[in-house]
Amino acid sequence: MIAARPRLRSWKGLLALGSLGCILLIWALKDVPWREIADGSLKPTIFLETADGQPLVRQGRFQGRYARYEEFPPHLIDAVLSIEDRRFPDHYGIDLRGISRAMLRNLQAGEIVEGGSTITQQLIKILYLESDRTLKRKIQEVVVAFWLEWKLGKREILTRYLNSVYLGAGATGMPAAARIYFDKDIGALDIRESAMLAGLLQAPSQLNPIDNFEGARRRTATVLDAMVANGKLKLSEAAAAKAEFTALHLTPPAPRLGSWFADWISSQAGEIAGSSVSSVTVRTTLVPRLQRAAEEVIKRALDEDGKALGASQAALVAMTPDGAVVAMVGGRDYKASQFNRAVAAMRQPGSTFKLFVYYAALKQGISLSDRVYDRPIKVDGWAPENSGGRYRGVVTVAEAFARSLNAATVVLAQHVGMENVAAAAKELGIDAPLNPVPALALGASEVSLLDLTGAYASVRWGTAPVEPWGVIDFQAATEPQAFRVGPQVTPSVDLSAYRDDLSTLLQLVVERGTGREASPGFFAAGKTGTSQNNRDAWFVGFTDSLVAGVWVGNDDDTPMKGVTGGALPARIWREFMQAAMASPSTPDGSGAEILTSEQQPAASCNIRACSRSYRSFRASDCTYQPYRGERRLCEK
């Protein structure tokens, strides 16, 4: 009995220690999102494409299209494993041998020269756990590493890692780096390029070959030597790759198109990816040729005349008549200011708002040939004046609109009723709050360029409201089928009874009214607008196949030097339309046919309607779980 007591105490100690360990594990692991980590939905990758399927490479960090394991060239995988985790195929998430080796080398060097983290651990740090160095996070990392190895397997872990690691110059993931540095698809990389990208993993900012070519060369040589030591490359092949490195063709990141558009559409893309797993490829409506034309026209106009005219900013948005946004410029320089003046800026639209006054009048039976007084008028102490102070007496409704006569328009609005004017604007798609006071007729309430252009698109389309949209279709990496998204709102108001008259009014503005400067030499219809003291100048209109709006002004609301909607904005609009029609990307040269019939996905998926209707809705395959049976396709 005397000899048994120490043994009993030993067992009690071990039991207490084990209990403490269990409590510690429960405490550390209770917040780990196991399910989301396993299916990849914790941070789903969203890859944006233009309408023709090209990568939409925005300013800042660029996430490339999610690549499958089979798409990575074998020499890229060999290079990454040789330099980052040579024992990756053999360990179970934590490499004790590698940790010991790294500790020894660091002690010998007197500094940190080598890390012991496996690729599995690196993936966990990148995507799944907080980066703070606490006991809780270290416990989580070890346990999650073992669990991921068991749950996902080597191929899936490596695939996620290669798609998620940062590689400098804004490139997140190997596919993005291949595009940024070499303008290639990931599968087209050669051994030199693969070794260089693998070398960037150590210090992507310091070894960026665009800024530090010599540093990238030395690191690439180290990677090639590691591949030889690992038996993945012959010595002669490594020597040839080193010798040829100086001839490596780099493509420094060019000015990136469509960053304002990408910012605008990202929230919609995020809504699509929100309930998806892994990655989602979202094809947008952006047409690169039209986006390039829009950016060039805005830059040229402000460079040539902006300073002299006191105009520091401009915005442009172009869409097809059904609201598919094909180009968007939110300001003069995205690098200098990411504020999107085409979407987020609320400004007084001036006389472009008159469209809604005349639409309300047509709805009450007034015709274009009816007469209206254009003479000084005072309403509740407010006396609107015509531009230049000239009044024309009795004029037709058509002439009042074409010449943008303020007094005649206010008379007409008073006759129609300001509540009806506000209702007409809402009907055509203006979502901003509208104050039904007399000054509303001349654009006193603020609107966004995007909404205003969408309202004009309603006239061209013949149904309202046209809500601007930017996602054509999406496809999850785990699904074979792409699902069409398209407009999220179905127009419900038939404008066929008024469309011709409204188009006639807008065409008269361009042919012989205030918008003559906008005439591109073919059919065009639109309206000029200038707010009080020339703080804002607008031109919004359409051709046969494109609708576009232009705003010019200053962020601080400073008045410009006499700029009106019929001057600089009209010229920008004209030059953009002429450029849009110049290249026959479609039969009429407009670029407006975004999808050919062969490209149309078979199934449509109204993400918003489906997610509102079904709590079980899953965007990745556009399905929901009914009370009984298998999941079903949501066809709302």
Q: pLDDT by residue (tens digit) across 544-596?
A: 999 999 999 999 999 999 999 999 999 999 999 999 988 554 434 444 444 44
Q: Which two tokens stand for residue 500?
A: 């011709």
The stretch 480-500 carries a mean pLDDT of 83
Q: Which of 232, 249, 242 is nearest to 79 (CA)?
A: 232
- Is there a domain that residue 510 lies in? yes
Q: Is residue 303 part of a domain?
A: yes
More confident residue, 242 or 39: 242
Cβ distance 275 to 619 under 8 Å? yes
pLDDT, greater one: 605 or 533: 533
Q: Residues 374, 511: one domain?
A: no
Q: What is the pTM of this model?
A: 0.76
Q: Enter the DSSP assignment of 127.
A: I
pLDDT of residue 59: 61
Domain containing residue 452: CATH number = 3.40.710.10
Answer with the residue of higher pLDDT: 153 or 124: 153
Q: Which of 30-34, 194-198, 290-294, 525-529 has the lowest mean pLDDT?
A: 30-34
Dump pLDDT digits (tens) for 355-408.
999 999 999 999 999 999 999 988 888 888 988 888 999 999 999 999 999 999
In the numeric block, which tokens belong to residue 461? Answer: 């389309």
Examine the domain organization and report whether 494 and 387 are in the same domain. no
Question: Residue 231 sits in which domain range?
Answer: 67-165+193-247
Which among 20-29, 57-66, 268-277, 427-436 has the top mean pLDDT?
427-436
Q: Is residue 476 part of a domain?
A: no
| Closest listed residue to residue 545, CA positions, set 320, 239, 309 | 320
Q: To the nearest whole number, what is the mean pLDDT of the chain?
A: 83
Residue 157 belongs to domain with CATH number? 1.10.3810.10
The span from the CA of 99 to the CA of 85, in Å, is: 11
Whether residues 461 and 496 share a domain: the answer is: yes
The SS3 call for residue 379 is strand
Strand order through the sheet with 471-476: 45-49, 279-284, 471-476, 483-484, 603-604
Kindly report, residue by residue over 206-232, the tens digit of the pLDDT. Answer: 888 888 888 889 999 999 999 999 999
pLDDT at 145: 72
Mean pLDDT check: name the lowest of 244-248, 414-418, 448-452: 244-248
Q: Is 336 a domain residue?
A: yes
Asked whether residue 52 carries a pLDDT value surpassing 90, the answer given is no
Same domain (yes/no): 93, 115: yes
Least confident segment among 121-125, 346-350, 523-527: 121-125
Asked if residue 235 and residue 92 are part of one domain, the reply reads: yes
What does the angle CA 567 – CA 255 – CA 66 come to, to the nearest 5 degrees? 125
CA distances from 388 to 114, 404, 406 (A): 76, 12, 11
pLDDT confidence tier of residue 341, bands split at 50, 70 and 90: very high
Give the span between the Cα atoms of 421 and 409, in whole angstroms.
11
Length of the chain: 636
Angle at the Cα of 100 from the Cα atoms of 97 and 105, rounded to 5 degrees? 125
In degrees, rounded to 5, the angle at the alpha carbon of residue 388 between the alpha carbons of residues 387 and 393 is 80
- Distance (Å, whole) CA 274 – CA 623: 14
Joined tokens for residue 528: 């000029």
Is 58 inside any structural domain? no
Domain shared by 390 and 308, yes or no: no
Contact 50, 284 (CB under 8 A): yes
CA dist 121 and 125 (Å) reads 6
Q: How many structural domains compose the chain?
A: 4
Is the previous residue joined to 487 through a cis bond, with omega within 30 degrees of 0? Answer: no
State the pLDDT at residue 274.
59
Q: Write out the H or E segment, with its range, that includes residue 536.
A: strand 536-542
Q: Are residues 344 and 410 in the same domain?
A: no
187 falls in which pLDDT band (50, 70, 90)?
Answer: very high
CB atoms within 10 A of CB 548: 29
Residue 609 has pLDDT above 80, yes or no: no
583 and 623 housed in the same domain: no
- Other CB atoms within 10 Å distance of the CB of residue 516: 14
What pLDDT, on a 0 to 100 scale, did the predictor assign at position 3? 46
* Domain-embedded: residue 59: no
Judge whether 460 lies within some domain.
Answer: yes
The pLDDT value recorded for residue 4 is 46
Is 24 domain-assigned? no
Most confident of 58-72, 325-339, 463-477, 590-604: 325-339
In eight-state DSSP terms, residue 55 is B
Strands, E assignment, 191-312 = 279-284
pLDDT, tens digit, for every residue of 439-449? 999 999 999 99
Percent of the chain at pLDDT > 70 equals 80
